[in-house]
Amino acid sequence: MGVRPMYVTPSFVASEGCIAGTVYVFERFETKGVLQVQVGETRIAAMTTPDLKVQLNQPVWLKVQPRRVLAFDVASGRALPPSDV
């Protein structure tokens, strides 16, 4: 399973249906930021504005657009068509 960072929205307030994690790292670029969130043994990236203020290990909740989640075939590693998900 996977999701592109632009389809993940971070929040610093707990919300129903969101994935809880902690800030792993935040990278600032000229026009965007990339927030890496540790969720168990997995890291999930979210695109943000470059001026986001976060602290290492800060609690964060992620809202993922369900229609944007990608599924992959375990054997081949290829993306499955949406109809096969």
**What residue spans of the chain are helical by DSSP H?**
none
Burial of 44 (0-12, 13-18, 19+ CB in 10 A): buried
Give the pLDDT confidence score for residue 2 in this predicted structure. Answer: 85
Is residue 26 one of the residues assigned to a domain? yes
**C-alpha–C-alpha distance, residues 23 and 61, integer Å:** 10
Is residue 69 one of the residues assigned to a domain? no
For the chain, how many structural domains are there in total?
1
Give the pLDDT confidence score for residue 83 in this predicted structure. Answer: 59
Q: What is the pTM for the complete model shown?
A: 0.84
pLDDT for 51-69, tens place per residue? 999 999 999 999 998 888 8
Is residue 80 one of the residues assigned to a domain? no
CATH of the domain at 21: 2.40.50.140
Mean pLDDT of 17-21: 95
**C-alpha–C-alpha distance, residues 5 and 47, integer Å:** 5
Q: Is the pLDDT of residue 84 over 60?
A: no
Is residue 41 one of the residues assigned to a domain? yes
